């Protein structure tokens, strides 16, 4: 059994909504922090955090970034350094207000880049990094996927699905994703300067049919980090392996973490 607890995190820019999943039998190991994708929030993770907590025996923490889900709104445009902002400003608040020190950083899509920044900036307390469908640079396939999604969200019924998760913040969420990734000024963004600072063990999960990024991304991450890396290319998986093959991903992450901690958790 896995129980959950909702918490509010105070930051200088507003309140952030967080949820913690606790397995009935905890290993006492460092919790796993989940970083969501560009349109994501806690609810869009669906049942995966519970599955991951059960498989790993660790507390799993997810939160809605400022402007997303239940967290406070924001009206500014995303700064092009937004991928690194979570590591700098939010993670320290999570650690202080939720009462933990060491942690595992797990990020999906752009959240994978955020998790990589966390592993780089907080290397002394980040025990491991897990990236899933993470982008390492701005690829033509990524931009093409966003353009296709933009056309789909122009349909009222598709946009309404986004409103279910973000309410009246949905338009800001969608525009922040599209406008940022399609901006010419963002075209040179990459994780090249961050990856060499990652010294912890790294698990890199990527579907070979990911519509937002080729397998060049996980290969670049694996080559770029200084810590030991494990590459998991999932045959037939697209951009959301944790939804497409939830148990397989949860168990793969749990096995990876057990190996890093000598079989515990």
How far apart CA 243 and CA 109 sit, in angstroms, is: 13
Q: Which percentage of the chain shows pLDDT scores above 90?
A: 93
74-117 per-position pLDDT tens digit: 988 898 999 999 999 999 999 999 999 999 999 999 999 999 99
Answer whether residue 15 is part of any domain: yes
Q: What is the CATH number of the domain that holds 93?
A: 3.40.50.1820
Answer whether residue 196 is part of any domain: yes
Q: Is the pLDDT of residue 264 over 60?
A: no
Give which of 245, 214, 68, 64 is closest to 135, Cα–Cα: 214
Q: Is the pLDDT of residue 181 over 90?
A: yes
> What pLDDT does residue 61 have?
98
64-84 per-position pLDDT tens digit: 999 999 999 998 889 899 999
Answer whether residue 265 is part of any domain: no
Total domains present in the chain: 1
Q: How many residues does the chain have?
A: 265
pLDDT confidence bin for 263, thresholds 50/70/90:
low
Secondary structure (3-state) at 203:
strand
204-237 per-position pLDDT tens digit: 999 999 999 999 999 999 999 999 999 999 999 9
Q: How far is CA 185 from CA 76, 79, 80, 134, 212, in A?
A: 17, 11, 8, 20, 19
Q: Which residues, in sequence order, are CB contacts of 83 under 8 Å at separation 6+?
A: 110, 113, 114, 117, 189
Answer whether residue 104 is part of any domain: yes
Phi/psi of residue 193, nearest 5 degrees: -80, -10
The range of the structural domain enclosing residue 38 comes to: 2-260
If you average pLDDT over every residue of the chain, what do you get?
Answer: 96
Helix H or strand E encompassing 94: helix 91-98
């Amino acid at each position: 059994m896995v129980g959950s607890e909702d918490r509010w995190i105070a930051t200088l820019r507003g309140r952030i909504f967080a949820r913690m999943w606790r397995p009935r039998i905890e290993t006492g190991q460092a919790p796993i922090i989940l970083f969501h994708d560009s349109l994501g929030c806690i609810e869009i993770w669906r049942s995966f955090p519970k599955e991951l907590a059960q498989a790993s025996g660790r507390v799993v923490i997810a939160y809605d970034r400022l402007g997303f889900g239940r967290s406070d709104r924001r009206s500014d445009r995303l700064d092009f350094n937004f991928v690194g902002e979570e590591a700098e400003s939010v993670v320290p608040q999570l650690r202080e207000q939720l009462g933990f020190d060491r942690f595992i950083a797990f990020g999906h899509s752009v959240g994978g880049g955020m998790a990589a920044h966390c592993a780089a900036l907080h290397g002394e307390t980040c025990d491991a990094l897990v990236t899933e469908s993470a982008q390492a640079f701005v690829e033509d396939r990524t931009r093409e996927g966003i353009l296709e999604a933009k056309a789909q969200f122009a349909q009222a019924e598709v946009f309404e699905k986004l409103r279910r998760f973000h309410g009246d913040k949905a338009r800001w969420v969608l525009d922040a994703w599209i406008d940022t990734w399609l901006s010419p000024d963002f075209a040179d963004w990459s994780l090249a300067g961050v990856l060499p600072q990652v010294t912890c063990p790294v698990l890199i999960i990527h579907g070979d049919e990911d519509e937002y990024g080729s397998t060049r991304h996980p290969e670049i991450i694996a080559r770029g980090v200084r810590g030991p890396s494990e590459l998991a290319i999932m045959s037939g998986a697209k951009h959301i392996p944790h939804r497409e093959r939830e148990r397989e991903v949860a168990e793969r992450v749990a096995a990876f973490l057990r190996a890093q901690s000598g079989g515990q958790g």
